[in-house]
Amino acid sequence: MKNILISTLLFPLFLMAQTKKPVSTTSTTNQGHAIQISLKPYQNTKIYLGSYYGNNKVFADSCILNQKGEGVFKSKTKLTPGIYFIVSPKMSILFDLLVDDKQTFSISADTLNLKSIKIMGSKDNELFQSYSKIINDLFIELNDIEQKFKTSTTAVDSAKYKEAYTIKDKEIKQKRKSFTDANPNSLMRFLLQTMDVPEIPNIPIVNGKADSSYPFRYVKSHYWDNIVFNDNRLLRTPFFEKKLDDYFKNYVSREPDSIIDEVHYMLTVAKTGKEIYPFLLFKFTNKYISPEFMGQDKVFLHIYQNFFAKGDTLLLNEESKKSLRERAYSLMANQLGLPAPMLALNDLEDKRFELHNIKAPFTFIAFWDPVCSHCKVEIPRLDSMYKASWKNLNIKVIAVNTNFKEMDAWKKFIKELQLTEWINGYQSEEDFNNEIKEGRPTTIRQLYDVFKTPTFYLLDKDKKIVAKNLTIEQFNDFIQSTIKK
């Protein structure tokens, strides 16, 4: 399916109170779809049926309207139930509709009066329209109260509008509950539950003390009530992926192991979902293959080892499989907390030295290329930090030239910047060729994930990796913080 760029979102975002009864996944029957449409004033032109796919929008079907403005979206393939929308010939969303398990119904609409859309033969669309009218009117009243509260000038007025807001909010929640209780098997109920986020409770007093962490724990434990991760309908909404992103941002620790627990559970449950599983698999892969925070590449490694490496690669071409495999292998040996891989180098005088023979409370390794423009900026900054602070802390810096073809440029740069207080080394061309000839599965570049320069690592006194992929200032903050502890 081809992506289309559409910015309008007409489906109202409203919340509801949750219940604890789980929902089942969608029917697996496949009887196709036939959605008749009369759309004035369009004639003899193509229109489209669009669908949400997480945060994106995609084509689901198209049809040609005749001279009377009539057409039909028809296929032997059944649509995944969810929120859909009609797209004009100019690629703008005209209005939303629901597609449930019954996919033979008709639509009558006039673009000059989209408030009077008629959808016949679809119980869920009847519910959608009636509920939207009720809830939207209530939200207009609620927003009006909120504006009056914001512009109130006295404490008495503020208190009055605050109380009115609370009363109206309770009325909306009661309407939602009444609606979902009356329509327990409807697509509308599923959509409202998917949107819903638990209301933050008050802080309780336990044994005379306020339990300030309780609201967080409560919301997190109920965040996914009524959501089953193998339900493909989740993708056909504009709010599931945002809700998912908010969950990982606000309720999951940045520690890799905490993220792994969440991701592994979701992917395991989602496996039987034909659409939702690959969506989640690739979403998490893309997010953690080059993560925002240090150490979270461990999440990608877990995904690769527990899902891709076990055969979940049917949607990948050979090039993608190779890229994922190589990326995983490049991360296996340099995870936080692991001993740094063996590193044997030659110094400026071609004398051999090994990383693990160097004694220091911290060892900083800088992999760089003497003809790399970014390295020419960062290496002098590293030298400034070393001389200003790290030297006095007895931190050892090993600067590794990754380009043995530029030995003259390397030595010239070291001499001009007087980097002789560091341990400067390189892997000789002979050693590099021996690795290739011997067919070693790992090289220095792979062991240390050196596919861009400069690449930095910080090791503790036992040569375990304690930090990587940070800026020089962030490394310094890490060192200072660790020393204070």
The pLDDT of residue 441: 56
pLDDT at 5 over 60: no
Nearest to 69 by CA among 35, 36, 95, 34: 36
The pLDDT of residue 132: 85
Vertex 373, ends 453 and 296: CA angle to 5°? 30
How would residue 98 be classed by pLDDT, with cut points 50, 70 and 90? Answer: very high
Length of the chain: 485
Q: How far is residue 433 from each of residues 385, 430, 436, measured CA to CA in Å?
A: 35, 5, 5
pLDDT at 275 over 80: yes
d(CA 213, CA 320): 43
- Residue 291: is the preceding peptide bond cis (ω within 30°)? no
pLDDT at 9 over 80: no
- Structure tokens, 459: 């090791």
- Structure tokens, 105: 């119904």
Tens of pLDDT, residues 302-311:
999 999 998 8
Q: Could you tell me which residues come within 8 angstroms of residue 312 by beta carbon, excluding any fewer than 6 positions away? A: 281
The pLDDT of residue 16: 26
How would residue 480 be classed by pLDDT, with cut points 50, 70 and 90? Answer: very high
Tens of pLDDT, residues 62-80:
999 999 999 999 999 999 9
Can you name the CATH fold of 344-484? Glutaredoxin (3.40.30)
The pLDDT of residue 133: 83
How would residue 314 be classed by pLDDT, with cut points 50, 70 and 90? Answer: confident
Nearest to 343 by CA among 297, 284, 402: 402
How would residue 12 be classed by pLDDT, with cut points 50, 70 and 90? Answer: very low
Instruction: Find the farthest-apart pair of alpha carbons in the chain and give their distance in angstroms, rounded.
Output: 87
pLDDT at 377 over 70: yes
Tens of pLDDT, residues 155-187:
998 999 999 998 998 888 888 888 888 999 999
The pLDDT of residue 265: 98
Tens of pLDDT, residues 332-348:
999 999 999 999 999 99
Domain positions in the chain are: 127-183, 205-331, 344-484
- Give percent of the chain with pLDDT exceeding 90: 75
The average pLDDT across 369-395 equals 96
Burial per residue of 196-214, b for 16 or more beta-carbon CB atoms within 10 angstroms, e otherwise: bebeeeeeeeeeeeeeeee
How would residue 285 be classed by pLDDT, with cut points 50, 70 and 90? Answer: very high
The pLDDT of residue 93: 95
SS3 content of the chain, % helix, strand, coil (to 5): 45, 20, 35
pLDDT at 4 over 50: no
C-alpha count within 13 angstroms, C-beta hemisphere, residue 484: 6
The average pLDDT across 319-325 equals 91
pLDDT at 13 over 90: no
Rounded to the nearest 10 degrees, the angle between the axes of helix 297-306 and helix 256-270 is 30
- Return the higher-pLDDT residue of 135 and 95: 95
The average pLDDT across 460-473 equals 96
pLDDT at 109 over 50: yes
The pLDDT of residue 55: 95
**DSSP H helical ranges for 183-239:** 187-195, 214-222
